[in-house]
Amino acid sequence: MGKVLAGITISVDGFITGPGDGPGCGLGVGGERLHYWVFGGPWRYDSPGRGEPAGEDKAWLEETMGANGAVPGARTRIEPNFDPDMVRQLKSATEHDMTVGGADLAGQAIKAGLVDELQLFLAPIVVGGGKRALPNGVRSDLELLDTQPFASGAVYLRYRPTSA
């Protein structure tokens, strides 16, 4: 049976966007800074391509994301609504791990007791508001499984939920 992995990039103050996120403002005011660590510095949605992580950071990200199957393609499934029973069926029918991304989806999966590992990428910024990393009412004790600091100051934290 595969595992359900939930991955989220968050600010130190617990947000996945800056204030005012939405159409025309993507990650909100200043929210793009959440991803400087992976893009190697400042970027905007209208910026030309600038590259990607380099050196040890790139190798680690590729190894970790590849092992998790976090690559868009034939194995990617997008559903209009979260259905815990369907996820349970998929999980029991495969030996491969499944990744759920985004705060809302991860929160629903944690609430439903489906998440086997929570993978947080803690970005070294405080955005001061925006969309919370997990919705209100999501509760779980966590066991720390792994950490990985990046030269940019970001830190990868991998947890196993132990209770709700």
**Could you tell me the residue range of the domain that residue 93 belongs to?**
4-71+83-163
Q: What is the mean pLDDT of the chain?
A: 79
End-to-end CA gap in the chain: 22
Helices vs. strands in the chain: H and E counts, helices first: 4, 5
| Per-residue pLDDT at 164 exceeds 70 | no
Residue 63 vs residue 92, higher pLDDT? 92
| pLDDT above 60 (res 70) | no
Q: Are 102 and 9 in contact (CB under 8 A)?
A: no
104-to-7, 16, 58, 130, 156 alpha-carbon distances in Å: 11, 10, 27, 13, 20
In a domain, 77, yes or no: no
The CATH number of residue 24's host domain is 3.40.430.10
pLDDT greater than 90 at residue 148:
yes
Considering the domain boundaries, does residue 76 fall inside one? no
Q: 96-110: per-residue pLDDT in tens? A: 888 887 778 888 888
Domain count, the chain: 1
Asked whether residue 47 is assigned to any structural domain, the reply reads yes
Q: Is 62 a member of any domain? A: yes
